[in-house]
Chains A and B, each alone.
Chain A
Amino acid sequence: KAGVTQTPRYLIKTRGQQVTLSCSPISGHRSVSWYQQTPGQGLQFLFEYFSETQRNKGNFPGRFSGRQFSNSRSEMNVSTLELGDSALYLCASSLVAGVSNEQFFGPGTRLTVL
């Protein structure tokens, strides 16, 4: 079974631009969660989608948004990029959201904001 895939793997943007990251979950998985990883803050939860609905959101500004498609693929968007948005963005998929369902992580998208 193919693992979670994320595209692109690397991105360089400048301040003020916007960016869209993509995540394809493992086949059959319906829940997709997004995390931001930085050296200073570590791994922080952004949001979770299930059946095209956002069910949970972390403490990030409204510039961070996402969506999920009917095939469970998910995208996240960051508008008006700031230098502090430079990070590794990870997505994780699970069969359904919940404690008993293991989250499988993708390799991440490395975003650099100049």
Chain B
Amino acid sequence: AQRVTQPEKLLSVFKGAPVELKCNYSYSGSPELFWYVQYSRQRLQLLLRHISRESIKGFTADLNKGETSFHLKKPFAQEEDSAMYYCALMRAGGTSYGKLTFGQGTILTVHP
């Protein structure tokens, strides 16, 4: 079975401070990891995914298979980063058939 854990339900930082949203997963096979974000009154949307190795809106995430983690980081938080963030896992290899397993989410608040 696959499981995603986001240990922090709430995270508050000040504008300009570094931010790290933690994500740990358990899965015996080869996973693909994603971060989704939901801004206030907007729909859930993809922020970034492991396979793309991109930096989106200043956010990066590195897959650490040894620690089974996929933490989301940004060196300087902005007020517009305030949102709900979900870490999600999909089974690699083309047999996932659309199934994303989500963590419980972390509400990030960036104070001015």
Contact = CB atoms under 8 A, between A and B. Distances in A.
Interface of B: 32, 43-46, 49, 51, 86, 90, 92-94, 96-105
B46 A33 contact: no
Contacts of B49: 102
B102 A42 contact: yes
Interface residue tally on A, bucketed by range: 20 to 34
A114 B100 CA distance: 29
Given A42-B103, A43-B86, A98 B96 contact: yes
How would you classify the secondary structure of chain A's contact residues: helix, strand, loop or mixed?
A: strand
Nearest to B103: A42
A106 to B, nearest CB: 7
When A and B form their complex, which 10 residue pairs have the shortest distance between CB atoms, in order from nearest? A48-B98, A56-B97, A33-B98, A43-B102, A55-B97, A105-B44, A97-B98, A99-B32, A42-B104, A45-B99
A31 to B, nearest CB: 5
Nearest to A102: B46
Contacts of A107: 43
